[in-house]
Structure 1
Amino acid sequence: MNVTVKLTGTLVARTGTHEARVAVPDDATVADVVDELAEQHGPQVRAGVLDGQRLRSDTVVVRETFDSTETLSTYSSLESGDTVRFQLNV
């Protein structure tokens, strides 16, 4: 399945990318998306958004839909066509 990923603010500098489309297995989680981003853009992606196996304390991931957003965790499941935004927790 394909997932669109957006990164904002200083996460762009931390990770080296601001938007990507990644292919992940059908049962993928946010952690799987981070792993695929790291494969495509380098290990700084993982360090930029994760602290071990968890999101960094200053990082939030949200699923964007036409009319709402939903906050996700590292182990949240994703669906094909999802758009997820990584942002700093302000």
Structure 2
Amino acid sequence: MPEIKVYFADGTVEIFHEDQTFTAITFYQSNGVTPIHMNPSLSDNYSLWSHHHNGLFPSFLELLANSKYFFDIEKPDIYYNSGSVVKIESL
């Protein structure tokens, strides 16, 4: 089963595998009273799939591009910041 090792800015290293599913968290602006507030919202689910040449990179990068934070649906007690990924390694 294809896997990637993901390095985060705080030194955390996680291994993610094909068919693992994550929920993206995005933020939207409310149009209420000034100042504008950013409200979090659960967004789409993204499953890691393997590309025949590029492995899990395309599917993981799609998740990062479409989320501010994300979490594994099987471990919803840990949220990851998409902007803190500093390196991705194929295993």
TM-score calculated relative to the size of structure 1: 0.30
Larger radius of gyration: 2
Compare the two structures and name the one with the higher helix fraction. 1
